[in-house]
Structure 1
Amino acid sequence: MNTMNKLKLSGLAGALLVALFSAQAHAAKPGYVVDQSTDAVTRNSYGECWKTTYFDKANGLAECGDAVAAAPKAVAPTVSKERIALSAKVLFGFNKANLRPQAKAELDPVVAKIKQHGANLQGVVVEGHTDYLGSDKYNQKLSESRANTVKSYFVANGIPADKVTAVGKGETETKMTETCKAKKLSYAKLKDCLEPDRRVEVEITGVQAAK
């Protein structure tokens, strides 16, 4: 191979390398004029990045002040739930669904706690629970009546009626049945042992909007 051919091949190889580096730079920084020797974006006398006709804001570079700001992530509101258990012995007489005079002292603090949520109150669920003594049907009805009685008290004391739901659970969620049965107690003592099952539970749900 003569000297002239070698020079031609050398020049061709150099041109191919330059084209390759230029293509890579363009692929890495599309839409900008890139200095092939430094791979840096060429700037004008004002320090501004030179753009080509293929410039797309979506591919903008932060170093040129063209990057599209990421949309802020939506923050979900914070939901809070608080559950309060009230003894039915304090609120009602045995097998009764009307409130005793001393029930006010137990229910008023709950009313105050509900009102603290203000417009952020999502809802209040009042659950009535009984022990296993008596028939399922009787206990279900008694639990519903007691839950509705507490709901009525809340509404009468300023809690929006559409925010309060009354639910009767009957004897479906007893906690002391097996323990008390195993003790083989007299009826009077069995009734005392089962007292934790005779209760009203209040669940308060509020939401705090994200800042």
Structure 2
Amino acid sequence: MNTSTPSLAPRAARAFSFTLAACAVALLAGCASPSHTITPEGQARAAADNPAPPTDKDFPALESAKWKQGTFPSLEALRAMRTGMGKDQVRDLLNWPHFSEGIFGVREWNYIFHFRTGKGPEFITCQYMVRFNSDVLTHGMYWKNPACAALLNPVEVKPVAVVVPPAAPRKITLAADGLFRFDRSALADLLPEGKRRVEALGAELQRSGSKLNGVVVTGHTDRLGSDSYNDALSLSRANTVRDLLVAQGLDGKRIRTVGEGKRRPVATCDGARATPALVSCLQPNRRVDIEVSAEQ
């Protein structure tokens, strides 16, 4: 029986080949070994450099990239790029360059970056170049298309002024028959229940804490009687309600009164003679409307 141990030579050869390939990748990227220690003096020199920016011809052709797919970079990482950074720091932010830049003394890294447009899978492609000085510190970062640099600008969110629409006027309708004695309009002619309702409304507006913009008190009558008589009666009743609201503490300057007479009926009834049935049918038209506009 053969008890000899298989040769280790093939395994060793494979391991050596893998190591050699890894080193070749690193060498081609121009960053085979970690960057040296960064000193304040070196950073100062990088900041003082004023290299000429590259032209479009200085950027490598996209089809010559070693990693042609490019990447979708972090915007925050790109915003963190500064002069005076070493290759390790750049690689930590942007990863390896996408082109074979050379082996020794590499002073330039080039990238292919993609940015989403927000329209489904659509994106735009930009070329980005990082240049290093003799201390192997960054002293220039450039976009082939200057418009790509604008993609790093944070989106300005302008505060939207919230316009609160004014509250719709609150409308209270009081039946005149429940407010005044028949065919009367003076304060002394107010019925107890009608007076209580107007006083309660005035007290409610005072307690609510609302800033009163205005109150419109409109008196209405039925169609029985002359136009002039009904106009005068409706206005007189509106004035009486206003005076009662002012007595509750409301500002009289903010209360306007209107006498509509019989011009805005809400009920239509047949007949011309003032029979009890017709008077009863026309009752909804005899009313006082109070519209209140106030800020909450």
| TM-score range normalised by the length of the shorter chain | 0.5 to 0.7
2:113 is the alignment partner of 1:38: yes
Shift of 1:196: 0.8
Structure 1 residues 194 and 67: alpha-carbon distance in aligned structure 2, compared to 1, 3 A threshold: same
Q: How does 1:101-112 map to 2 (within 5 A)?
A: 101-102=191-192, 103-112=194-203
Tell me by how many angstroms 1:109 deviates.
2.1
* Number of equivalent positions: 172
Q: What is aligned with 1:191? A: 279
Query: In the alignment, what sits opposite 2:156?
Result: 69
User: TM-score, normalising length from structure 2?
Assistant: 0.49
Q: CA deviation at 1:186?
A: 5.8
Equivalent residue letter for 1:174: P
- Cα distance in 1 between the residues matched to 2:184 and 2:218: 16
The answer on whether the counterparts of 1:117 and 1:206 sit within 8 Å (CA) in structure 2 is no
Residue-by-residue CA offset, 1:167-202 (whole Å, 9 max, x unaligned)? 11111111223xx216x7762221122111100011
1:89 is aligned to 2:177: yes
* 1:138 pairs with 2:229: yes
Q: Is the 8 A contact 2:111 2:129 kept in 1?
A: no
Partner of 1:166: 257
Aligned mates of 2:240, 2:112 — CA distance in 1: 84
Name the aligned partner's letter for residue 206 of structure 1.
A
Closer, same or farther: CA 83–38 of 1 in aligned 2, 3 Å = same
Unaligned runs of 5+ in 2: 1-56, 64-74, 82-93, 95-109, 116-127, 131-139
> Matches of 1:155 and 1:90 in 2, distance apart?
20
Q: More helix per residue: 1 or 2? A: 1
Following TM superposition, by how much is the alpha carbon of 1:113 offset from its aligned partner in structure 2, in angstroms?
3.0
Cα contact 2:181–2:191 (8 A) shared by 1: no
**Structure 1 pair 119–176 and aligned structure 2 pair: CA distance change class (3 A):** closer
Give the whole-Å Cα distance in 2 for the aligned partners of 1:42 and 1:155: 78
Unaligned runs of 5+ in 1: 1-11, 19-28, 44-49
Q: CA deviation at 1:17?
A: 5.3
Q: Structure 1 length normalisation: TM-score?
A: 0.66
Give the number of the structure whose alpha-carbon radius of gyration is greater: 2
User: Does the CA-based 8 Å contact 1:125-1:167 persist in structure 2?
Assistant: yes
Higher relative contact order (CA 8 A, sep 6+): 1
Secondary structure class of the residue paired with 2:270: helix
SS in 2 for 1:166: strand
Deviations 1:129-185 (A, max 9, x none): 0000111111111111111110111011101112211111111111223xx216x77
Distance, in Å, in 1 between the alignment partners of 2:174 and 2:156 is 53
Which runs of structure 1 show a deviation greater than 6 angstroms over 4 or more consecutive aligned residues? 40-43
The amino acid across from 2:295 in the alignment is V
Q: Deviations over 1:35-79 (max 9, x none)?
A: 542347789xxxxxx876xx99xx463xxxx42532221112241
Rounded Cα–Cα distance in structure 1 between residues aligned with 2:212 and 2:141? 54
The root-mean-square deviation of aligned C-alpha atoms, in Å, is 3.8
In the alignment, the residues of structure 2 paired with residue 80 and residue 51 of structure 1 have an alpha-carbon distance, to the nearest angstrom, of 59
Partner of 1:203: 291
Partner of 1:126: 217
Amino acid in the other structure paired with 2:217 = V
Deviation digits for residues 17-38 of structure 1, max 9, x if unmatched? 58xxxxxxxxxx9xx8895423
